Amino acid sequence: MARRYFGTDGMRGEVGSAPITPEFVMLLGQAAGRVLRKGQRCGRVTVLIGKDTRISGYMLEAALEAGFAASGVDVVLCGPIPTPAVAYLTRALRLDAGVVISASHNPYHDNGIKFFSAQGTKLPDSFEEEIEAEMDKGFDCVPSDHLGRVRRLDDALGRYVEFCKSSFPFGLDLKGMHLYLDCAHGAAYHVAPAVFHELGAEVRVAGNEPNGFNINRGVGATHTEDLAERTKLAGCDLGLAFDGDADRLIMADNRGHVYNGDELLYVMASDRARHGDIGGVVGTLMTNYALEKRFKEMNVDFVRAKVGDRYVMEELRRRGWLYGGESSGHLIALDRQSTGDGIVSALQVLAAIRSQGKTLAELTADLQLMPQVLVNKRIPKGYDWKGDEAFMQAVAAAEKDVEGRGRVLIRPSGTEPLLRIMVEADDSSLASMLAHRLAGALSVD
C-alpha cells in the first residue's frame, strides 16, 4: 500500500499546512498508539517523545502527547534532544517506541514526525502504512480510567552524554585537540559541547543559541562552505558540523578541506576493518564511485541502497554488516549505535585519528573523490518529471556525454518538493555544466 503522509524519513512539511497541523498530529498520535497497543501482550504501552529547537515543537509535542494519551498510551517527554538520543533512550529504558518531532536539516517553518522501534531503529514502511490505515478510522478516545499518563525524563541529556562518551575507546582521550563545533542552533547545542569537553578536548562552539527560529539558518551540516575557514579562525584543528537534529556530521580541517559523509564513512569503516571483519559497507545511489572503488581494492564488499538512512540501515541489517552512510553525513556504525548519530560518528572519526596517529587528511589521502555536482530544482506537487519529454531527452544526452567517465542520477526528494539532479564525472566543469543544463531543461517555472 502506498503511503500518503510518510516519506523517506518520517512525515515532514510546513507547519500549519497538512499534514503538519496540531489536529492531524493529535490524530497521528492516537492512531500510532492504537497500533502499538495491538502488539502489546501485557502491561501498559509507553513511548518517548523528543524534539529539536523549532518554535513549533511545543505545539506539536502537546498535540502528539494528547493523541497518545487518548489512545491509552503513556508518554515520557525529553524536551529538546538529538534524534539519535531518542533512539538510545527508547532502547535503554525498554520502552515500546520513540518519537522525534523534527524536520532535521529543513528551515524552522518546517517540522516533522518520525518513529523509532523499541530496539532504537527506524520503523519499517509497513508500520507507517498501518498507522495511516488506523488514521482513516478517525479519532476515538479511550474511557477516562484507561487514559495515558505523562511524565518528564529530567536526566535525559546526562544519560545521552554518558552513552556518547562510552562509544569512544577506553584508554583514548581528546586531550590536546582543539575542536570547533557548529551545532546548527539545533538539538546538539547543549549536548555536543559537553561530550567533547568531558573527553578532554578544548572546545569552541557556534550555533548554540537557538531561539526557535534560527535552526539551520546559515549554520550546521548543510552550510559548510566556510566551515574550514571558521575552524581556522577559531584556532582549532578540526571543525564538526551537525544538522538540526544532530544525526548528520560534516567535518573540516584548518587547511581548507571539508570532508563529506563519503570520506568520513571511509575513515570509520577502514579503521574498524583494521580490528576485524566488518562484512561490507552500504552506501546509497548518491555515494561517490571512488568510495566503491576504494573498498573493492581493500577487498571490502560494497552495495548501494536507496537514498535515505533508513534504507541503508535496512540493507545493513539484512546482510549483517556494521557500517554504512550517505554523502550528506548520515553515518551508521552498528557496533556503536542503533541508528545514525552525528556525535557518535564524530567520535569514531576522532578515535581513528588518535589510534593511528594521523591527521584526517592523511587518513583520506588514498580516497580521491570524483567531482559531483548536485542541483536541487523545486517542482510542483504531482509533477511527472519522467513524462517531461524535453527533460528526458536532455538526460539521455547527458548520459551519453559522461559514458565511461561518470554517471547521471535523477531522483525526487523524499522530504521536500525538490527534484535532485546529480552528475558525477572525472571533470568538475563538465559535471557542473551538465547538471545545470538538466535543471534548465525541466518544464517548470
- Of 104, 117, 167, 345, which residue is the catalytic one? 104
Cα separation, 392 vs 444, whole angstroms:
14
Q: Read off the DSSP letter of residue 385.
A: G
> Is-contact 349 360, C-beta < 8 A?
yes
> Is-contact 353 308, C-beta < 8 A?
no
CB atoms within 10 A of CB 307: 24
Quickly list H helices, 114-240: 125-135, 156-166, 192-198, 227-233
- Which triple of cell numbers denotes residue 36? 502499538
Q: HSE (CB half, 13 Å, CA atoms) of 287? A: 32
> Is-contact 105 93, C-beta < 8 A?
no
**Cα distances (Å, whole numbers) of residue 130 to 2, 25, 35, 36, 262:** 11, 16, 7, 10, 34
Parallel, antiparallel or unpaired: strands 323-325 and 280-284: parallel
Cα separation, 30 vs 70, whole angstroms:
6
Stated as kind and residue range, the H or E segment containing 150 is strand 150-152
Q: HSE (CB half, 13 Å, CA atoms) of 142? A: 19
**Cα distances (Å, whole numbers) of residue 224 to 70, 253, 328, 339, 368:** 43, 12, 11, 23, 20
- Which triple of cell numbers denotes residue 212? 526557535
Stated as kind and residue range, the H or E segment containing 202 is strand 202-206
Burial of residue 389 (number of CB atoms within 10 Å: 0-12, 13-18, 19+): exposed
Please report how the helices 261-273 and 342-356 are oriented relative to each other, as an axis angle in degrees rounded to 10.
Answer: 50
Non-local CB neighbours of 294 within 8 Å, separated by 6+ positions: 266, 366, 367
List the beta bridge partners of residue 305: 284
Question: 104 catalytic, yes or no?
Answer: yes
- Residue in the structure block whose three cell numbers are 500510532: 32
> Is-contact 282 303, C-beta < 8 A?
yes
Supply the residues annotated as catalytic.
104
